[in-house]
Structure formats: C-alpha cells, structure tokens
Amino acid sequence: MSSSPSSSSSSPPPTSGDSPPSNLPLKKIPGDYGLPFLGPIRDRYDYFYNQGKDEFFQSRIKKYNSTIFRTNMPPGPFNARNPKVIAVLDAVSFPVLFDTTKVEKKNVLDGTFFPSTAFTGGHRVCAYLDPSEPNHAVFKRWFLSLLAARHNKFIPLFQNSLSHLFANVEAELSKNGKADFNMLSDDTSFSFVFTLFCDRSPSDTKIGSDGSNLFTQWLFFQLAPLITLGLKDLPNFLEDFLLHTFPLPFFPVKSAYKRLYDGFYISTSKILDEAEKLGIQRDEACHNLVFMAGFNAYGGMKTLFPALIKWVATAGESLHRRLANEIRTVVESEGGVTFSALDKMSLLKSVVYEAMRIEPPVPFQYGKAKVDMVVHNHDAAYEIKKGEMIFGYQPFATKDGRVFENPEEFVGDRFVGDGEKLLKYVYWSNGRETDEPTAENKQCPAKDVVVLLARVLLVEFFLRYDTLTAEVRTLLLGSSVTITSLTKADSTG
C-alpha cells in the first residue's frame, strides 16, 4: 500500500532536510492523542489487534489526508511515560530521523520506552547513545575498526557457514519434506557472528549449540512490548496485559545472558585489550560487543535472511533463472566469489536492495526534536516543536508511491541501470543506502557487511540450486519461511 495520500507516480521528491519548497503551504499537524491513559490504550489495541500495523497507519493517512500526523505509539501505559509521537510516513519527511543536528537519539532505539540496563550489564550501550555524548564516537570508531580488521574473513567464513546451512536444509527436506529456514538460518547466523569476532566456534565454549536460542530469549524479553504473539487461543486482553502493560524483568534470562557474555569475554581478550587502549572499561566493552553481535548483527540477520529468501522464492522461476545465469557467468569469469565479482552482478545487487526496500530489517525509527523545525512531505510543510518525539514506520517510507512505481510489488531489477538513482530512497540501516556509517552518525556500523552477506547468501544458493519453492507467513520479528522444494543445479528435476 502506498504511504502517500495520492498513489500516482511523479518525479522523485526533493531530498529531506532541504528547506521546504516555497510553494508548499504550512499546515497544522493533523491528528490527536485522545484522552489521557485511554487514548494510548485505544491506539495500542488498534495497532496490535483491531487493525494491525499497516492498517493502523494507512487508515490514519486516509483519515487525515496526510503522511504526517499525531498519534500514540505502543506500548503506552505503563511501559512508556509518554507515548505521543508525530508520525512521518513518506520518503521525503522520513530522513529527518537521520539528521542528528535536528533529532536526539538518546534512549530511543526501541521507541517511546527504554528497556532496563540490566539487559546490558548496567550500561547504556552505544546503540542508545546520542552522537553528542562523548562515548558514542569512541564506541563507534571501535566497532568500525573491528569490522575493518576482519574485512578479508567475511566471504570465506560466511561461505563455510552457508555450506553447513544448505546441507542442513537438504537433510530436513529429505527427512520431513520441508525445512524450517528460519531456525537453520538463525543457528548459522549466530555461529558466523561469534566465529567472526571470537576466532572460534561457539560449540568450543560454554555457549555450545544454544547461542541462537539464548540470544532470541534475550531479545524477546527486551522487545516484548512491541510484538504480538498472534496466538488464536490467547485472548487479546490477556496477551496485552502480559506483554505490553509492564516491562518484562531481566531475571528469567539472566543465566542465558551470562552464558553469552562469558563466552564472548573469554574468547575476545585481544579485542577487549584494544578497547582498553581506547579508554573503554573492559566490562563495558564486552557488554557493547555482545549487544552489537546479538541485537544488531544476529538480530538483523534473523529478520533479513528469511525476508530475502521469501521474496526471491515468491518471485518465481524467471527471476531465479536470470539470477543463476548472472551469478554463474560472473563467478566463472572472475575465478570465484570475490568482492570484485559481487560488484559486477547488477541484478543480484538490485534484488538485495529490493528486499531491503520492501521489507526493511528494522521497521521503526525514532528521534526527539532537538530544535523547532519545519518538516515537509510531498504536499505541505509542518512545524515540529523542540522536545516532540518523531516516529517513522520505514516500510511506508520505502514503499512511497510518489517515488516508487508499483511500490507493493517485488521488482527484482528495480535498481538496475537508471534505477540506481532510487537507492537514496532505500532506508534500512538508520540512514540512506547511499550514505556511509561514521563515528558521528547513527547509521549501522556493519551496513556494508550486511549487504555483502545478503549477496553472498544468494550467490552460494544459486551456485548450488536452480530454483526453490517455499511457504511464507508473518512471524514475531519478520517473515517465516519453510522451504518445500529445491532443484539442484544441472539437475533434470
């Protein structure tokens, strides 16, 4: 569904952050918050149960004839002290959330509530820091240096991980006639991330084979106020009370987190030595490393990889043949899967970007206005006051019908050729795809690594297989994919 009141295509809009065009009228932001306490609960029930996320926003866009409006965002009472937000749901206004001269990013990673620091060893880790806070740049530079030092490991290490993944998928298919891609992908993702930073397999530590489950438990208890289980036998009011009314405590996952922390602490002594040289306390450095590896890296891969396979699987055999042909031709001519080879696969790159556009791994962005400002969408300008919370639902911004033709459709070659000009409207990493992470911004430090791994996943898949079929559905943190068939390369079927 288009995130714009008018779904007709037009020329790409001006870059957000520029001064609004002089011909745009200045309007009052529509919408309201309802009665105290009752208004946020009403909106929470609409969001989770009565309407669902997409209809919640789409109905308000239609009601106010605006992609910028006031509303309450979950979880509301008693998890969030102030659930009031100004929603920006189009490609023009959304990037104001990336401008840290205009918005504050302190403690807004999860929105209008802030999980207990007990989940991170008593520390406010880098993801919750605003760039104006001194420690932010220190941690961000450390993260960027860690990734740069492992640059040459990304492809071969992930290839090895994928060999195990596909072998397990084939084994499950042979045994059960279908394979749960999410479960197998989660295990692969955790093992890759841990081995990348720790130079050993998690099975050689006290974490054993439980890493993905331990991280998932830890993530669930922090993000429970933002999800619904979708269980038909569980009454809505009971789920709402259990998940959304009060913060879930840390103690049920304390032992799980300790196993993760101890596994990283023991295995990353050299990395932690480097952190101490930068003035970071060893304990705080390790908690930040666990968060980056678990919340950012593993959490991102947990949502991205199933979404990528889902959209490729449902796109059909025509796209599969084109991808397989491009991948195999380039790999043969380049003599292997290299950075240079990946860069020459224009269709592959487009498919990955299109998956990130249509189903961004992180769907929400928040920022508190640092100054009075004027934000505009396609049709009007609106004044936002200092201290007001701004919220963006990313899938609406990246499916803006005034920017993208057929925005709800997965178009594999959307970003090939002249289509590359639209990459500046692909928002998925707390920034534009055309931007780069720095110590001074909030863009994901592993942004380019994520894109790389997604490309390698498809390359390794289509070097082995010609096509696939899958059953897909919506899960707690994204898409669920069950692979139902694989056709091996050079197979007669």
**At 461, is the secondary structure helix, strand, or coil?**
helix
Q: In this predicted structure, what is the pLDDT of residue 488?
A: 94
Print burial letters for 314-324: b (CB count within 10 Å at least 16), e (below 16).
ebeeebbebbb
Q: What is the pTM of this model?
A: 0.93
Tens of pLDDT, residues 111-161: 999 999 999 999 999 999 999 999 999 999 999 999 999 999 999 999 999
Q: In this predicted structure, what is the pLDDT of residue 478?
A: 82
Q: In this predicted structure, what is the pLDDT of residue 6?
A: 44
- Known binding residues: 444
Q: In this predicted structure, what is the pLDDT of residue 459?
A: 98
Q: In this predicted structure, what is the pLDDT of residue 474?
A: 80
Tens of pLDDT, residues 200-223: 999 999 999 999 999 999 999 999
Q: How many residues does the chain have?
A: 493
Q: In this predicted structure, what is the pLDDT of residue 1?
A: 53
Q: In this predicted structure, what is the pLDDT of residue 19?
A: 65
- Going from the C-alpha of 170 to that of each of 174, 338, 418, 457, the distances in angstroms are 6, 26, 38, 16
What gap in Å lies between CA 411 and CA 301, rounded to an integer? 22
Phi, psi of 469 (to 5 degrees): -125, 155
Mark the ranges of the chain whose per-residue pLDDT is less than 50. Answer: 6-16, 492-493
Structure tokens at 493: 């079927």
- Known binding residues for heme: 444
Phi, psi of 480 (to 5 degrees): -115, 135
Structure tokens at 322: 């084109």
Q: In this predicted structure, what is the pLDDT of residue 11?
A: 43
Q: In this predicted structure, what is the pLDDT of residue 237?
A: 94
Tens of pLDDT, residues 373-428: 999 999 999 999 999 999 999 999 999 999 999 999 999 999 999 999 999 999 99
Compute, in degrees rounded to 10, the torsion defined by CA atoms 166, 257, 284, 116: 120
Q: In this predicted structure, what is the pLDDT of residue 21?
A: 76
